[in-house]
Structure 1
Amino acid sequence: MKLSLRALKLKTRMVLILGLIALLQTGSIGLFALYYLNQSLDEQIGERALHVAKGIAAMPQMIESVGQGDSENLQPLSKLLAERTQASFVVFGDLRGHRLTHPNPELIGLSMMSDDDDDTAPTLVHGRSQVTKAEGSMGWSMRARTPMYDHTGEEVIGLVSVGYTLDRVEATIARYRTTLILVILAAFVVSVLTAIWFANHFKQAIFGLEPEQIGRLFQERIATLESVREGIIAINADGRITTINRAAIETLGLDEDRTLTGRPISEVLPDSQMLDVLRSGEPQFDREVWLADRNLIVNRVPLKQDQKVTGVVSSFRRKDELDLVSRKLTRIQQYADTLRSQSHEYSNKLHTIAGLIQIGADDEALALIGQETRSHQELIRLLLAAVPDPILSGCLLGKYNRAREMGLKLLIDPDSHMAELPDRLPREQLVSIIGNLIDNALEATLAHTGTNGEVRLSMTDLGDDLIFEIEDQGAGVPDDQQERIFEKGVTSKSAQGHGLGLHLVKGLLQRLGGTITLEPGDPAEENPASRGSRFTVYIPKQPVRHTAAVDNPHG
């Protein structure tokens, strides 16, 4: 079974690859060095042989002996010259190319052409010196041949051949080869140690992950970014975009065919708040912003490494999408509150009716049933006629039942009319405003009068505004708190967790371009000194244009 390279750990792969590269590099350099050394030594030996040959060819005694063909005199002289010049051989030849001397006496008189295919004509006929590497009678040698002239220097009378065998060259190369092998092994060991160090450092930088794991995480990251419905933008420490998903491009209305990665965020989205987060390192959460009549909710978080900000990631989503979810949850909550209140109330009524029947008070039981039927029918008829919107009417019905559960009365003005609710008005914001005001009125009335108290509600859609008026029988708002009652945390209640409802109402009305007023209510008939409070809400029917962005939305 073959071992795949991918099956090995990154550290093992890096050691093998870097070690193999070092081995190939040093091996290639070593082979080139040996080849160059061999060529250099051959040239040096050839030049030496040629220099010796020319020196011998110029000696008068040698010229005279070669001219006479005196082999007996030349033979001992050639041996002596070879020893003094440390040459392997010194061979003299006559004008026909026959040997006059040779280390092997048996070869004297034979043609020098028998050693190899080299021609002696360049030397004897043309008078040129030549250096060759050839295998002769004494093996491979580097030899130089040069012509010998007579005493006049004009006529060639023979030649001299000086040669050096390559045994010394091989010995020198072998010595260098051993050194190079040691160097190659040392380089391989150093490369392995370097690879181990680098692999450990690299693995630490990538959190111990393998390349395949990084690739898989990268693919998962891309799939995750493209699957989420929130827009996501990330920038690096230089303020350049490193990540942007399709949802961000679509939400911000950017050109889909334009390459945005790598471009400065200030160029794509001028006045970017992401650059402020990059400089300060402080995150920003749930910032509401406006862009091209689109309301967005934005979060911006800095990326830090070793306490240094290395980038910023921003996520954002259109607020109307969040409002849609909130609207659905609000409806469910309203339905649940209505059902809970009705279930609790009717459970008590049924127990009462059952008790009356058990004791034989049938007339009283029928009267109670009729009373309950009439009161609810009247309320339902009023809501159907005055408030056709099911969400608002459901909210009012739930608050009516809650008031009865608390032992109070929620009285809706029979002359109320609220049929012209504009489509652009978010219903969940409207019921949040009215619901909070009614809840505060019920709690204030219960705390001041106990049970049997009343909260009055009147509505009208005449004119350019929707007007809601809620009046309670509470203790009223002190004069020193009337200016601060809408601030967050300000409340007349001693229990914790209050002081948010009116602040929320004020914020919602500001978004809708509406206003709210507070004034003392009408004196109660049974207690003229108790005036309570009257809250009046004005909501314009026409939408309010946002002239400037509250914040920059690009996350």
Structure 2
Amino acid sequence: MIVLCLLVLLQSALLGGFALRHLADSLEDQMAQRALQLASMIAQTPSIREAVAANDSEATQRVASELRDATDASFISIGNAQGIRLAHPLPDRIGKPMVGGDNDEVLKQGHTIISQAVGSMGPSIRGKAPVFNDVGEVVGVVSIGYLTQEIDDTVLTYQRVVFAVTLLLLVLSVLAASWIARRFRAAIFDLEPHQIAALFEERNATLESIREGIIAINAEGKITTCNRAAIETLGLEQRDVVNHPIREVVPDSRLPDLLESGEPEFDTEMVIGGRSLIINRIPIRVKGKLTGVVASFRIRDELTMVSRQLTRIRQYAETLRSQAHEYANKLHTIAGLIQLDKSDEALELIGQETRDHQAMLRWLVDSVDDPVVSGCLLGKFNRAHELGLQLVIDPDSHLGPLPANITPERLVTLIGNLIDNALDATLSAKGRSVFLSMTDIGQDLIFEVEDQGPGISEEDMPRVFDRGFSRKAEGRGIGLHLVKEGVSQLGGEIVVENLSAGGARFTLYLPRESVG
């Protein structure tokens, strides 16, 4: 309201000031032209010419008085060739020199002029014309003037009108601003602009943090809200779908149907884009009027994904059980050899089984200080052995005490996921080995994991760390995403590249000192 009032006041002041200034200039110009015309006309009057040529003050004063009564001029002053007054509104000034200092150009050069000067009657705008005799000689001057006080009085009259109109506009603007403010605040639920901005940011953050997809449309069927989860769940190629018709973006959403029925739907199962979804649809009403529809949905297959993960865990348990049986069989074999007094053969069998593990254990004791990391590497070594693969660790690798900002658990997550991914890739390509090297020399901890898999295509390279991206099977694509997130939290970097001999190399850089 204050802003509107100040705006009206400023506009009125600027326009009023310009109008009054233009009016004053126009009045001055008009009066100057009128004074000049009257002076030229009176200077050509025969009676004035004769009286001035004869230097007859009485006749000149009488004719000038008659002309002054017939015109609206403030004064008519007539002087002779020497600038001595022959006629003047104040009789006591007759016979005295004309004042103002603007008669020389008229008397000496015979020009008509317009001047503004302070005369015996005060500041005035004057028009001056020469009086010629019958032979064309300048014998006098006629000065017609309008007092500037009259112009000021006229401008003051208009100024009062401008002030009155401005005051009226100000009162009307206050009333209009008050009415607009009440209507506007009622429309925005009595919220201030900064509160609306805060709610808008909070609403965007909330939508992006929700794992369920959210889509809202207005009464025209155009999308007004769509969060990232909705775009990813529906597999929309176009990321910016706001203001697009819902029928074009998601033809089988059935959201426009609720604009007609107005009935909410909860936990409805639908197949959209080839995916089975559980959808909730709720109409949006403002003051009882249906203004849109909002839908939230989630993938029904999430339960299936959890089930598959449990299945893989069960398969892993079965693998461990079969391994236990295998070791039990070998133990029985060793026991039988001992009973048969075949101790050499028993020792040879034991040596074959323990040689690699012993070498691995000795290297871990000498090269890796943290026991949690050592346990992880030993577990991955055994896992590779179960899969028929080899986890080859660079014998020159070394990992001393971990920095304070890197916990063993977090490092185990990063290394474990990289090795698991390399084992899966190598196994799928029927490779034989996965290579690991690590060093803590310098300002960073550096880990390199190489596989003998099929490598990563140029098309997939930008998406290799995206959550859910995988070329192996549905429900995969989590490990590398977790690695990327963990590295970002530690302020590190991960680089992936294809090897010339086949496979891929993942290089992990973790700074010793915490970043930020």
Do the aligned residues in 1 keep the contact of 2:129 with 2:141 (CA within 8 Å)? yes
In 1, Cα distance between the equivalents of 2:251 and 2:42? 92
Out of 22, 29, 44, the residue aligned to residue 30 of structure 2 is 44
Q: 1:148 aligns with which of 131, 137, 142?
A: 131
Deviations 1:178-221 (A, max 9, x none): 22222222211111111111111111111111222111111110
Amino acid at match of 1:234: A
Separation in structure 2 between the aligned mates of residue 143 and residue 272 of structure 1, nearest angstrom: 86
- Indicate conservation of the 8 Å contact 2:277/2:300, yes or no: yes
Instruction: Indicate conservation of the 8 Å contact 1:148/1:159, yes or no.
Output: yes
Deviations 1:330-389 (A, max 9, x none): xxxxxxxxxxxxxxxxxxxxxxxxxxxxxxxxxxxxxxxxxxxxxxxxxxxxxx99xxxx
Check whether the contact 2:83–2:103 (CA below 8 A) recurs between aligned residues: no
User: CA separation in 1, counterparts of 2:124 and 2:103?
Assistant: 16
Question: What's the CA shift for 1:227?
Answer: 0.6
Cα displacement string for residues 404-446 of structure 1 (whole angstroms, at most 9, x for unaligned residues): xxxxxxxxxxxxxxxxxxxxxxxxxxxxxxxxxxxxxxxxxxx
User: Which runs of 5 or more structure 2 residues have no equivalent in the other structure?
Assistant: 311-320, 323-473, 475-516
Match of 1:115 among 100, 108, 128: 100
1:188 counterpart (170, 174, 182): 170
Are 1:18 and 2:18 an aligned pair? no
Cα separation, 2, equivalents of 1:214 and 1:135? 65
Partners of 2:116 and 2:248 in 1: how far apart? 73
**Structure 2 residue 156 is matched with structure 1 residue 171:** no
Counterpart among 106, 125, 134 of residue 117 in structure 2: 134
Compared CA separation, residues 236 and 128, structure 1 to 2 (3 A):
farther
Q: Matched residues in 1 for 2:147 and 2:264: separation?
A: 84
Q: Which amino acid aligns with 1:174?
A: L
Quote the residue 2:216 is aligned against.
Answer: 234
After TM superposition, give the deviation of residue 155 of structure 1 in Å. Answer: 4.8
2:234 corresponds in structure 1 to: 252
> Are the equivalent residues in 2 in contact too, given 1:290–1:296 (CA < 8 A)?
yes
Give the superposition deviation at 1:35: 1.7
Matched, 1:205 2:187: yes
Contact 2:132 2:138 in 1 (8 A): yes
Q: Give the match for residue 364 of structure 1.
A: none
Q: Select 2:251's aligned residue among 270, 282, 306.
A: 270
Aligned length: 313
Higher radius of gyration, 1 or 2? 1
Q: What is the percent sequence identity of the aligned residues?
A: 48
Cα offset, 1:288, TM superposition: 1.6
Q: Please state whether the residue corresponding to 1:143 is helix, strand or coil.
A: strand
Tell me how far apart the structure 2 counterparts of residues 40 and 25 of structure 1 sit (CA, whole Å).
Answer: 22
State the AA in 1 paired with 2:5.
G
TM-score (norm: length of structure 1): 0.51
Distance 1:51 1:44 in 2: 11
CA distance in 2, matches of 1:239, 1:120: 86
CA positional deviation for 1:313 = 0.9
Higher relative contact order (CA 8 A, sep 6+): 1
| AA in 1 matched with 2:209 | S
Partner in structure 1 of residue 264 of structure 2: 283
**CA deviation digits over 1:473-526, x for unaligned, max 9?**
xxxxxxxxxxxxxxxxxxxxxxxxxxxxxxxxxxxxxxxxxxxxxxxxxxxxxx
Equivalent residue number for residue 285 of structure 2: 304
Give the drift of 1:60: 0.8
C-alpha spacing 1:217/1:164, structure 2 compared with 1 (3 Å) = same
Cα deviation, 1:116-136, whole Å, max 9, x if unaligned, reads: 4x4642x44665433333333
What's the C-alpha RMSD, in Å, of the aligned pairs?
3.1
Stretches of structure 1 that go unaligned for 5 or more consecutive residues are: 1-13, 330-383, 386-542, 544-555
Closer, same or farther: CA 261–134 of 1 in aligned 2, 3 Å: farther
Change beyond 3 A, Cα 1:295–1:272:
closer
